[in-house]
């Protein structure tokens, strides 16, 4: 257990109806009890109980706020230490005053992510789970939230742990072999190296397949809405934003204080490129000019090309259709409520039918078809059913790739009849790499780096 007791405001800063000061550590109860005037003495409170009372400065008797205090004794708490949570009135004043009083009582201010770090160090959660807590906080859509929650519960770790067990058993065999190098035993061992490594590799590769989808769910589909003036780009954006209430995430305490707007489409986050620009002038192409818009188009994971069905195809549009043919484009045929003057044949010659969707941005019709088309393009349409263990964290993805590399080295070496004490090195490396995902073999500096991404109070 870590020695000192820490505190921080655990709720978002700003106005809300309540705010929470979280205190964790061996002395949490002892330090808060003298500040809390209530029918119950916190020192006698049962674990997992809530108490009503006043926070009072013991120096001058002044009352800071009327609060609810929750007591959760370790190890059955988030950090596995004794935790006291003080729910104060919302707004910055009350919660800051309570926090200051707590900090004057011999409790230290927590660093960003320190509560989660303690949960990890105390063995409550593993590293992949701790990292998922960051994703939970940052998730921009319900879908990404669900994926992060699964991972916070240990879904990824459950896949990794058995693989490590297989490898360690294999390593034990190899060890025995090095000590007793009889010929037939060596042959058997070589066979089981190829076997086990092959099995582990298959599963690691399956996890890597989910990485692309996981990244999309986590970070959102970078989307560019393009088309000629008046095609209905802004109207489409508004229709999307209305039907799918945009989730605004604000990530305080990070180096890049991003306030990002994203629209959620059947739970898939769409990150609209240069959103401020789109909102103000409504036209990426018009606003940023041809040069830069080409860059934006290259960056985009998804391009929504909006055409006006009420007009014949324009030369600019013909050019765009040609340029974008190999890109992830969905052709949005807008203004389907008006007379149809656009000849589709020319477009159909280039693009498959499932890439074309008729909508009326004005009436809000066809948006569901557009959602389906997007989900088909990125998830083979199976987004609703699939299992939610996506690997989405860049660190995990890199480690899994390195693991495959080490396993390949081991398999090749075994096939080439290289002495098994040399193959052992590759096996041990694969085992260690997988261990880094769950945090079994990571250094202090990496931990600091990971946990510093958290906001205060987590
Ligand atoms: P942008 O220049 O591509 O952003 O196009 P806007 O979204 O600003 O729309 C241009 C004009 O077309 C506006 O007057 C819209 O009201 C109109 N408009 C957009 N979508 C539709 C639609 O689905 N049906 C009809 N009838 N008009 C539309
Ligand atoms: Zn516009």
| Residue whose CB lies within 8 A of the most ligand 1 atoms, among 228, 230, 333, for a mutation test | 230
**pLDDT (0 to 100) of residue 28:** 96
- The closest ligand to the CA of 310 turns out to be 1
What structural domains and CATH numbers belong to the chain?
Answer: 6-125 (3.30.1360.120), 132-215+393-439 (1.20.120.430), 221-379 (3.40.50.300)
**pLDDT (0 to 100) of residue 183:** 64
Q: CA separation (Å) from 418 to 47, 50, 412?
A: 59, 64, 9
- The closest ligand to the CA of 365 turns out to be 1
pLDDT tens across the length of the chain (458 residues): 457 999 999 887 666 678 899 999 999 999 999 999 999 999 999 999 999 999 999 999 999 999 999 999 989 999 999 999 999 987 778 888 999 999 999 999 998 888 998 998 898 888 888 888 877 777 766 667 777 787 788 888 888 999 999 999 999 888 877 777 676 667 778 889 999 999 999 999 988 887 777 777 777 788 888 888 888 887 888 787 765 443 333 333 322 222 335 777 777 778 776 433 333 344 444 444 444 555 667 778 888 999 999 999 998 889 889 888 888 899 999 999 999 999 999 899 999 999 999 999 989 899 889 988 988 887 765 444 345 567 877 788 889 999 999 999 999 999 998 888 889 999 999 999 999 998 887 777 777 777 777 766 67
224 is in an annotated binding site: no
CA of 297 to the centre of ligand 1 (A): 22
Spatial contact of 87 and 68, defined as CB atoms under 8 Å apart: yes
Distance CA 314, CA 312 (A): 6
Spatial contact of 358 and 205, defined as CB atoms under 8 Å apart: no
250 is in an annotated binding site: yes
Distance CA 88, CA 100 (A): 13
Distance CA 241, CA 227 (A): 19
**pLDDT (0 to 100) of residue 449:** 75
pTM for the model: 0.60
Spatial contact of 196 and 167, defined as CB atoms under 8 Å apart: yes
**pLDDT (0 to 100) of residue 1:** 47
Spatial contact of 450 and 127, defined as CB atoms under 8 Å apart: yes
- The closest ligand to the CA of 308 turns out to be 1
Distance CA 295, CA 273 (A): 11
**pLDDT (0 to 100) of residue 239:** 80
User: What is the ipTM metric for this complex?
Assistant: 0.98
Using CA atoms of 192, 197, 203, 209 in order, give the dihedral in degrees to the nearest 10.
-150
**pLDDT (0 to 100) of residue 30:** 95
End-to-end CA distance of the chain: 18
CA of 257 to the centre of ligand 1 (A): 34
Protein residues within 5 Å, CB atom, of ion ligand 2 = 234, 282-283
2 is in an annotated binding site: no
Distance CA 360, CA 378 (A): 23
For the CA of 334, the nearest atom of ligand 1:
23
Q: CA separation (Å) from 15 to 93, 149, 294?
A: 10, 26, 42
Give percent above pLDDT 90 in the chain.
41
**pLDDT (0 to 100) of residue 140:** 66
CA of 227 to the centre of ligand 2 (A): 9
Residue nearest atom 19 in ligand 1 by C-alpha distance: 232
For the CA of 286, the nearest atom of ligand 1:
2
- The closest ligand to the CA of 235 turns out to be 1
**DSSP code, position 139:** -
| Residue whose CB lies within 8 A of the most ligand 1 atoms, among 224, 226, 232, for a mutation test | 232
**DSSP code, position 312:** P
Q: Any residues with Cβ below 6 Å from ligand 1, and which? A: 227, 229-235, 282-283, 334-335, 337-338, 360-362
362 is in an annotated binding site: yes
Buried/exposed code over 238-270 (b: 16+ C-beta within 10 A; e: otherwise): bbbbeebebbeeebeeeeeeeebbbbbbbbbbb
Distance CA 271, CA 300 (A): 9
**pLDDT (0 to 100) of residue 260:** 39
For the CA of 360, the nearest atom of ligand 1:
23
**pLDDT (0 to 100) of residue 296:** 62
CA of 344 to the centre of ligand 2 (A): 23
């Amino acid at each position: 257990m870590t020695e000192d007791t820490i505190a921080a405001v655990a709720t978002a800063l700003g106005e809300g109806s309540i705010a929470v000061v979280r205190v964790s550590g061996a002395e949490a109860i002892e330090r808060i009890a003298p500040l809390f005037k209530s029918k119950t003495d916190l020192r006698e409170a049962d674990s997992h109980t809530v108490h009503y009372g006043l926070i009072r400065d013991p120096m001058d008797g002044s009352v800071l706020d009327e609060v609810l205090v929750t007591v959760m004794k370790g190890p059955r708490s988030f950090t596995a230490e004794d935790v006291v949570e003080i729910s104060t009135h919302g707004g910055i004043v009350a919660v800051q005053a309570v926090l200051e009083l707590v900090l004057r009582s011999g409790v230290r201010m927590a660093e960003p992510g320190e509560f989660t770090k303690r949960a990890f160090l105390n063995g409550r959660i593993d590293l992949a789970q701790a990292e998922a807590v960051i994703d939970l906080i940052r998730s921009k859509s319900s879908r990404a939230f669900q994926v992060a929650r699964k991972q916070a519960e240990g879904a990824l770790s459950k896949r990794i742990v058995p693989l490590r067990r297989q490898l360690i058993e294999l390593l034990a065999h190899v060890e025995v072999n090095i000590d007793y190098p009889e010929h037939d035993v060596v042959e058997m061992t070589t066979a089981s190296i190829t076997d086990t490594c092959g099995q582990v590799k298959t599963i690691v590769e399956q996890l890597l397949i989910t990485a692309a989808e996981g990244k999309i769910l986590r970070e959102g589909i970078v989307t560019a809405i393009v088309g000629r003036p008046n095609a209905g780009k802004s109207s489409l954006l508004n229709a999307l934003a209305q039907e799918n209430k945009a989730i605004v995430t604000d990530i305080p305490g990070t180096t890049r204080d991003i306030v990002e707007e994203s629209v959620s489409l059947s739970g898939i986050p769409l990150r609209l490129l240069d959103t401020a620009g789109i909102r103000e002038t409504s036209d990426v192409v018009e606003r940023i000019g041809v040069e830069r818009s080409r860059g934006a188009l290259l960056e985009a994971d998804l391009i929504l090309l909006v055409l006006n069905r009420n007009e014949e195809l324009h030369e600019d549009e013909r050019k765009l259709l040609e340029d974008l043919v190999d890109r992830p484009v969905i052709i949005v045929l807008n203004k389907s409520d008006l007379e149809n003057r656009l000849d589709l044949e020319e477009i159909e010659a280039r693009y498959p039918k499932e890439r074309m969707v008729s909508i009326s941005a004005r009436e809000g019709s066809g948006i569901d078809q557009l959602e389906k088309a997007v989900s088909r393009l990125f998830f083979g349409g199976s987004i609703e059913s699939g299992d939610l263990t996506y690997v989405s964290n860049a660190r995990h993805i890199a480690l899994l790739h390195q693991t495959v590399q080490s396993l390949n080295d081991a398999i090749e070496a075994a096939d080439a009849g290289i002495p098994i004490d040399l193959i052992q090195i590759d096996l041990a490396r694969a085992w260690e790499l997988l261990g880094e995902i769950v945090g079994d073999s990571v250094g202090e500096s990496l931990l600091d780096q990971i946990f510093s991404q958290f906001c205060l109070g987590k």
